């Protein structure tokens, strides 16, 4: 293999290479929630994707070793919340292992299908899980949109270069 001028030296595939490349990819920030045996769970996701308009399907990745996976693996419905740039602290709380994600100052309520719905987000969806696909150390969850609310106000929170930020004008 020969390197093209200006492209640097190619590296063999590794977890470090993947993380390094995806630090350069700006992604929207979402929080996925579900209700377990009397306890809500949730995690920060930057892997949210629209899959299909008809039927309306979304997907996201979740670590199979994460604390939310046991509940997500059994949940019929999940909540998907698009965070605004004013919610960097909330994104951090739901990304931090061992955090009390639903304790103060997190504001939430029980929504449709018993799904925890976060307050103050740009938009939220309640989705019915239709598939869980093994993908290495993660699972890809595919879910059909049941209902939602896109009426939040503000600009989206982004994840880039290993940190949360907002759009620049």
- Report the chain's mean pLDDT, rounded to a whole number: 92
d(CA 142, CA 51): 8
Tens-digit pLDDT profile for residues 93-111 = 999 998 899 999 999 999 9
Per the structure block, which two tokens stand in for 152? 């939040």
Residue in the block written with tokens 């907002």: 166
Question: For the domain with range 28-152, which CATH number is right: 2.30.30.110, 2.30.110.10, 3.40.1410.10, 3.30.365.10?
Answer: 2.30.110.10
- DSSP of 62-103: EETTSTTHHHHTT-SEEEEEEPBGGGHHHHHHHHSTT--TTS
d(CA 25, CA 15): 16
Q: Give the pLDDT score at 5.
A: 57
d(CA 86, CA 101): 17
Per the structure block, which two tokens stand in for 94? 């739901």
Residue spans of the domains in the chain: they are: 28-152
d(CA 20, CA 162): 9
The CA-CA-CA angle for residues 123, 18, 167, to 5°, reads 35
Q: What pTM, to 2 d.p., does this model score? A: 0.90
Tens-digit pLDDT profile for residues 3-32 = 555 677 788 888 888 888 888 888 999 999
């Amino acid at each position: 293999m020969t390197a093209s001028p200006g492209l640097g030296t190619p590296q063999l595939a590794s977890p470090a290479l993947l993380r390094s490349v995806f630090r350069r990819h700006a992604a929207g920030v979402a929080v996925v929630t579900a209700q377990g045996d009397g306890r809500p769970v949730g995690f920060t996701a930057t892997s949210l994707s629209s899959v299909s308009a008809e039927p309306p399907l979304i997907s996201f990745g979740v670590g199979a070793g994460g604390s939310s996976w046991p509940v997500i693996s059994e949940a019929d419905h999940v909540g998907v919340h698009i965070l605004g740039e004013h919610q960097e602290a909330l994104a951090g709380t739901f990304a931090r292992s061992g955090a009390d994600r639903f304790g103060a100052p997190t504001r939430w309520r029980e929504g449709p299908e018993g799904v925890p719905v976060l307050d103050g987000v740009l938009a939220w969806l309640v989705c019915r899980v239709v598939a869980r696909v093994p993908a290495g150390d993660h699972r890809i969850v595919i879910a059909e949109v049941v209902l939602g609310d896109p009426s939040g106000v503000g600009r989206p929170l982004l994840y880039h270069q290993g940190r949360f930020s907002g759009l620049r004008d």
